[in-house]
Structure 1
Amino acid sequence: MNIILISSSYKGIYPYIEQTVEDEFLKLGHSVVKINPTLTKELREVIKQSNPDVVITLVGYKTDKQLLNYLKKTGAVLCVWFTEDPFYLDRSIELIPYFQHVFTIDLAAFEFYKVLFPEKDILHLPLGTIPSIYQPEEVKAKYDLCLAGFPYPGRVELVQRILAETRYSLIVVGPGWRKSITENDQKRVTIINRWSSPHLIRNVFNQSKIILNPHRDDNFVANQNNLGITSKSINNRCFDIAACGGFQLIPHKPDTGVHFALEKEIVVYSCPQHCIELIYFFMKNEVERTQYSQNAYKKALSGHTMFHRIQVILNRLFEKSKEE
């Protein structure tokens, strides 16, 4: 197939994800042309020459509506993969009418879209990990605990509780953490106060005994989710941590057991206090940590890579085309 991949134009992790999406399509024998999200005269020519069968974009919030209308006239099948759901659900809803196929990383968003847009093909599809980036390293554990990601209030609360109630070493990675930890506590915490590449994150994961993975707050002030749809899904970092062979503690989500076997591949907590109790237990039980890590690693590589996700997309498109 001839595939057009519309760049999301977001920085950070997105160039890595989009490059992997492109690479996986190419590995499967498809041609891929990546374009910018704004329609121009030059871009019209590129689109004509590529003669697309399928158009896909991640996020989609910066995509020019004129571009989408132009692409629709080519007869190509338009797909969007919402990777920020449900936290920007307001913006996602505005875009759905332009696409035939809608993929979302969140189960709650999927359930909502199925009701609101019954005529659309909606699929719950988490992002997969990138094994060429996220992988085990032969390094010694340097930190007891780590937390990588933006300091959302819930994450800050968890870190503050850990600092107050334990003496374990901790590293936090992400812009804004220095402001979120008191000067006195900063003496105990290693802070990388910036966005960091996936390669650095991988290194931190591999140097940590326990990786804390509290998810984004549903009520964070910057969210654009006026309907208040509460997330029901684990985040993509779960798969990345597993691919690194890391042991993680995550909050319970309704779809956790769909992706990992509870009490075998992953450990969930119900509240900050429960998380601290689990930290104490697993810090003293390295054998159990290792068993969980090994099981989750095998699961991630056998079913949760970006290659697996691209296969799901292609199979979905093939099935729907047969129905039509």
Structure 2
Amino acid sequence: MRILFVDCDPQYVNGLPSGLRQLGCDVMVLSSLEKDDFKLTFDLFQPHVLFTAGWTKLHTRTNLEMLGEYTVNKNIIHAYWATEDPRWTEKWSVPFVKRAKPTHVFTIDPDSVSLYQKMGLVASYLPWACNPEYHRPVPPKEEYKCDLAVVATAGITWQGFRRKAVKLLIKPLVEREYNIKIWGARWEQLNSDIVGFSVPDKYLCGKLPYHETNAVYSSAKIVLGIQNRTDELNSRTFEIMAAGGFMLAPDTEAIRAHFTPGQHLAVSGSEEQTIETVDYYLNNDALRHKVARQGRQKVITEHNYRNRAKEVLAVLTGG
């Protein structure tokens, strides 16, 4: 099967395409949607499947309408992975579907499957995963060494569980001046009146290129795995653990459905427990390393993109 994977974000490019290739698919990644380039690539490669994902700078209205035109005119399978569900379903995913006209939708939110089915599409649940060839332990770097690390984009007007998770994990550590480093956009714009605390500039390290995330996860003693919801796991959950990072996450139903606290990672359900857990694992290096190894083995074995690719192909082929 020839699959034209259209995306420019390294998180997507280094994820599912690898799993599809491992299963024998001929995958071409196209990171530009200039009309002439797209037409030439499409005509030369003659894909059986067009695959799009996420919310990236490629997805302008004009580009989406062009993809939709090709989907209809070429009568081709167009699979879209809606990774912004459910928060941005109505503002992003639904307009994407209407303009780009995919035939199949995969979504990270199981509750959104029925919505796409009602739109007449073949829809399936497809969670995030890791690519062990890319998300892997690397030698620690001095500039990333710290007791605690955060890699996440801040929300200026955070709502829902993500705000609670940030207060649960980051607030008590910042207030007690732990050795913590925070990478990501918009942290300097954090509104303390909304989120309930402020983060001093000394903890902020700015944006982090995606190809450097493995180095942070391999250099920090503990990585805080901020979650967006209680019933799903975000992409960094799998990427942190696959890179050998020891992760401390909020104690949610989704975490416990896939991992065992104390065996694969650590969890916290309160600010007090965050401090207790951090102190415990910072003072127990051998145990922390053991848990990190077990967590890594869990995700690279069960939650890898080869397994996700099998699910994708089963849906696309009706198998």
TM-score tier after normalising by the smaller chain length: 0.7 to 0.9
Provide the residue aligned with 1:29 in structure 2.
24
Provide the residue aligned with 2:153 in structure 1.
150
Q: 1:133 to 1:35 in 2, by over 3 A?
A: closer
Provide the residue aligned with 2:180 in structure 1.
170
Aligned with 1:93: secondary structure?
Answer: helix
**Aligned partners of 1:81 and 1:104 also within 8 Å:** yes
| Structure 1 letter corresponding to 2:114 | K
Q: 1:93 to 1:283 in 2, by over 3 A?
A: same
| Structure 2 letter corresponding to 1:159 | I
Alignment coverage as a number of residue pairs? 295
Provide the residue aligned with 1:111 in structure 2.
111
Provide the residue aligned with 1:296 in structure 2.
295
Provide the residue aligned with 1:94 in structure 2.
95
Provide the residue aligned with 1:279 in structure 2.
278
Provide the residue aligned with 2:5 in structure 1.
5
Counterparts of 2:135 and 2:40, CA distance in 1: 38
Provide the residue aligned with 1:161 in structure 2.
172
- Displacement after TM superposition at 1:23 (Å): 4.3
| Structure 2 letter corresponding to 1:136 | P
Counterparts of 1:156 and 1:265, CA distance in 2: 21
Provide the residue aligned with 1:17 in structure 2.
12
- Displacement after TM superposition at 1:211 (Å): 0.8
Aligned with 1:268: secondary structure?
Answer: strand
TM-score under structure 2 length normalisation: 0.78
Give the % identical residues: 21
Counterparts of 2:116 and 2:14, CA distance in 1: 32
Counterparts of 1:184 and 1:306, CA distance in 2: 35
**Aligned partners of 1:134 and 1:199 also within 8 Å:** no
1:200 to 186, 204, 212: 212
- Displacement after TM superposition at 1:315 (Å): 2.5
- Displacement after TM superposition at 1:177 (Å): 3.1
Partner deviation per Cα, 1:239-282 (whole Å, 9 max, x = no partner): 11111211111123433234323442133323444323322333
Partner deviation per Cα, 1:132-171 (whole Å, 9 max, x = no partner): 332223549931111111123537644343122x342111
Counterparts of 1:185 and 1:49, CA distance in 2: 53
Provide the residue aligned with 1:244 in structure 2.
243
Provide the residue aligned with 1:220 in structure 2.
none
Root-mean-square deviation over aligned CA pairs: 3.1
**In the alignment, is residue 137 of structure 1 matched against residue 138 of structure 2?**
yes
* Residues 250-265 of structure 1 aligned to structure 2 (within 5 Å): 250-265=249-264
Q: 1:32 to 1:116 in 2, by over 3 A?
A: closer
**In the alignment, is residue 68 of structure 1 matched against residue 68 of structure 2?**
yes
Q: 1:86 to 1:261 in 2, by over 3 A?
A: same
Q: 1:283 to 1:94 in 2, by over 3 A?
A: same
Q: 1:302 to 1:193 in 2, by over 3 A?
A: same
Moved more, 230-239 or 153-162: 153-162
- Displacement after TM superposition at 1:123 (Å): 2.0
Counterparts of 1:264 and 1:242, CA distance in 2: 12
**Aligned partners of 1:58 and 1:82 also within 8 Å:** yes
Counterparts of 1:306 and 1:173, CA distance in 2: 26
**In the alignment, is residue 81 of structure 1 matched against residue 81 of structure 2?**
yes
Q: 1:71 to 1:275 in 2, by over 3 A?
A: same
Partner deviation per Cα, 1:104-151 (whole Å, 9 max, x = no partner): 123xxx213315624433222122223233222354993111111112
Provide the residue aligned with 1:309 in structure 2.
308
**Aligned partners of 1:72 and 1:78 also within 8 Å:** no
Counterparts of 1:212 and 1:54, CA distance in 2: 37
**Aligned partners of 2:146 and 2:181 also within 8 Å:** yes
Structure 2: runs of 5+ lacking an equivalent = none
Q: 1:46 to 1:282 in 2, by over 3 A?
A: closer
* Residues 223-234 of structure 1 aligned to structure 2 (within 5 Å): 232-234=231-233
